[in-house]
Amino acid sequence: MTADSLADQGAADAVGDARRLWCGRFQGVLSTHSAAEPGFPFGSVVPVCLSNAGEPLLLLSHLAQHSRNLGADPRAALTLFDTAGDDIQQGRRLTCMGRCEPYDDPVALARWCRHFPQGRVYAERLNFRLHRLLPLRCHYNGGFGTARWLGVDRLLERIALDPECEQMQLRMLAEQHARWLSTQAVPGCAAPPLAAGVDHLGVTLRCDERLLRLEADTALADTDALTACIHRGGLATPG
């Protein structure tokens, strides 16, 4: 294998790893431009899930510092990272910069609330508002010697799943694969999980407030692909 082909393979591996991290993390660090202290960044931990197009969704209180900051300057960055392991610098990290703006889309809010059910109360009664980060450029670090910039198009390709297609897959999981769902143990939760989301790369399960990501060994483009993946044991937690 030539040096060029090795470099191409390394880039493809990095994109694949970054894409799985992007889909499989449900909390991260949002950084915005401080309105209270101009010129300084303001960062805090936030829950996050993706839209059907693969863009990060955030549910923010109108009182939150981030809401005030974004109202003055929508430029922001979101960092996702591996939480397992003793050395966080040896794990995967992905930071995407872009514009974060209010996103009043009922389909996106419904997807958020499947992942974080308390979000419905926050949105309807407590004046929280859904925001969407439109990434412009991303930087991925998979460990020593693997840092690189990634194009957004490459990161988001093969993630998006049409909302109607996702709904069909979620209904099928509930109606035809309830027994399989009951065998999927969510750490720290004794009850059977529910399917919160499906995308091309995997399935996300929820039990109470806990989320479990299962990665697929093939693209879950439709109900047939999902059924075949379940039958051959092709869905598993990231190892």
First vs last C-alpha separation in the chain? 27
Is pLDDT at 53 greater than 70 in this prediction? yes
Is pLDDT at 1 greater than 80 in this prediction? no
- Rounded mean pLDDT, 16-23: 95
- Rounded mean pLDDT, 6-21: 75
Of all residues in the chain, the percent with pLDDT exceeding 90 is 81
Q: Which residue pairs from 148-152 have beta carbons closer than 8 angstroms and sit at least 24 positions apart in sequence?
A: 148/11, 148/14, 150/14, 150/15, 150/18, 152/96
Tens-place pLDDT, residues 34-51: 999 999 999 999 999 999
**Closest Cα partner for 214 from 228, 188, 231, 233?**
233
Q: Which residues pair with 46 in a beta bridge?
A: 28
Tens-place pLDDT, residues 80-92: 998 766 777 778 9
Tens-place pLDDT, residues 115-128: 999 999 999 999 99
* Residue 14 to residue 32: CA distance in whole angstroms: 26
Mean pLDDT of the chain: 92
| Burial status of residue 134 (CB atoms within 10 A of its CB: 0-12, 13-18, 19 or more) | middle
Is pLDDT at 11 greater than 70 in this prediction? no
Tell me the pLDDT band of 67, cut-offs 50, 70 and 90: very high
- State phi, psi for 38 to the nearest 5 degrees: -55, 135
- Rounded mean pLDDT, 12-28: 93
Tell me the pLDDT band of 157, cut-offs 50, 70 and 90: confident
pTM assigned to the model: 0.92
- Rounded mean pLDDT, 141-145: 82
- Rounded mean pLDDT, 132-143: 94
- Assess contact for 134 and 155: CB atoms under 8 A: no
**Closest Cα partner for 124 from 139, 104, 140?**
104
The pLDDT score that the predictor gives to residue 185 is 85
Tens-place pLDDT, residues 205-224: 999 889 999 999 999 999 99
DSSP the chain: --HHHHHHHHHHHHHHHHHHHHHH--EEEEEEE-SSSTTSEEEEEEE-EE-TTS-EEEEEETTSHHHHHHHH--EEEEEEE---SS-GGGS-EEEEEEEEEE---HHHHHHHHHHSTTHHHHHHHS-EEEEEEEEEEEEEE-STT--EEE-HHHHHTTT---HHHHHHHHHHHHHH-HHHHHT-PPTT--SPPEEEEEETTEEEEEETTEEEEEEESS---SHHHHHHHHHTT-EE---
- Rounded mean pLDDT, 107-115: 97
Of all residues in the chain, the percent with pLDDT exceeding 70 is 94
| 197 Cβ contact partners less than 8 Å away, ≥ 6 residues apart | 49, 50, 111, 114, 115, 166, 170, 203, 204
**For the packed helices 163-176 and 106-115, what is the interaxial angle rounded to 10 degrees?**
40
* Domains in the chain: ranges and CATH: 3-156 (2.30.110.10), 163-236 (3.20.180.10)
